[in-house]
Amino acid sequence: MKQDTNIQVCVNCVMDSTDPTIIFDDKGMCDYCHNYYDNILPNWHTDERGRAEIMKVVNKIKEEGKNKDYDCMIGISGGLDSSYLAHVAVKEFGLRPLFFHVDAGWNSDISTSNIQKLMDGLGVDLYTEVVNWEEMKDLQRSFIKSQVPDIDTPQDLVFFSSLYNYAAKHGHKYIITGGNYSTECVREPLAWGAYYQTDMKYVNDIHNKFGERKFETFPRCDIFKYKIQYRLLNGVRVVKPLDSIPFIKKEAEQLLKDLYGWQGYQHKHHESRFTRFYESFWLPRKFGYDKRKNHLSSLILTGQADRDQVLDRISRPELPEDELMKEFEYVAKKLDFTTEELWSYFNGPNKTFEDYKNNHKLIQLGTKVMQLLGLEKRAFK
């Protein structure tokens, strides 16, 4: 794939001007890099200081979890971040988590196997919430028909909502997540399909326009319900231990392979077959957006990837052409589209979240408040 010479690429990472909001300084360094060096790195401690801080939280979780079957919950996908988190939580911290998994119909065989291996190796219980497939399919079809970049919103929404709804309903106070700066310090821009999956005004507008059935059991949790009711009234707390201890991608992968027989993936988030299609086909070929750039820029900034090697990697598709076509046909069949129908939506006019009703301005205001309070360091734009 030949690099478009009209696209400006950051001289320090590989984020580029396909992000319409990116800003470069006079030396060609982007604002994502400046945000990392100015806001994230000075406040990110993975040494003894970080461990001491996270152990205070861990000890509190243990104390409050006494006489309970579980002292916390971990959303488990079979991907690297949640898998390594599970190992750390049980083996290093001595926590007693309940694994929580959402089956939205798109698990890869590897992800299913990885979850089972972790359960067996760690001796942890698993609760799986199986989403009503007809409702899931209807919402995914709706997003494809809407022709927005972020067609993975239905999966993200159901993963998030199921976990937090369950925690609030059953009195679980602590959700341990694998979110981290080490592999995610560069957040993908909203234009690249990263619009807020819990903006129910946006989700409902697309579903009302293109859906064919009503929601009956589909898990939903609006961002305001999560931020206000669940956190302030129900007392649900989110803890991110991987930001307080060393977390190196290759080392974590090797540890999981050695201890549990865990298997890796071609790229981040490929534990879901739909996400693999979305990131490898829909986004780059319909919109020209490549999420590998922010994923791998995170690794460049944290010293885990060589920029020249990354530039070479993203110059080509992540998957072979024949495999991409098989994924296209698989997605079409599973969602009850003919291949011709799916191609027609793929080739149709591109839209964005701004073409539908949304709470973007209100959410942006809340995000800015969190940044001012020091609760969010990444750049949201």
Domains and CATH numbers, the chain: 47-372 (3.40.50.620)
The C-alpha atoms of residue 250 and residue 84 are separated, in whole angstroms, by 11
Q: Are 121 and 325 in contact (CB under 8 A)?
A: no
The C-alpha atoms of residue 55 and residue 63 are separated, in whole angstroms, by 12
303: amino acid identity, one letter:
G
- Radius of gyration, alpha carbons of the chain: 20
The C-alpha atoms of residue 35 and residue 10 are separated, in whole angstroms, by 13
Q: At 159, phi and psi to the nearest 5?
A: -65, -50
Q: At 42, phi and psi to the nearest 5?
A: -65, -20
Residues contacting 78, CB < 8 A, separation 6+: 107, 108, 110, 111, 112, 113, 114, 115, 118, 271
Q: Distances from the Cα of 12 to the Cαs of 17, 33, 59, 247, in angstroms?
A: 14, 7, 40, 22
Give the model's pLDDT for residue 364: 83
The C-alpha atoms of residue 50 and residue 379 are separated, in whole angstroms, by 22
The C-alpha atoms of residue 301 and residue 307 are separated, in whole angstroms, by 9
Q: Is 98 helix (H, G, I), strand (E, B) or coil?
A: strand
Q: Are 263 and 110 in contact (CB under 8 A)?
A: yes
Q: Is 86 helix (H, G, I), strand (E, B) or coil?
A: helix
pTM over 0.85: yes
Residue in this structure with the two tokens 């739909």, named with its chain if needed:
274
Q: Is 72 helix (H, G, I), strand (E, B) or coil?
A: strand
The C-alpha atoms of residue 125 and residue 370 are separated, in whole angstroms, by 34
Structure tokens at 182: 């080490």
Structure tokens at 99: 């694994």
Give the model's pLDDT for residue 372: 64
Residues (pLDDT < 70) of the chain are 1-5, 267-269, 370-381
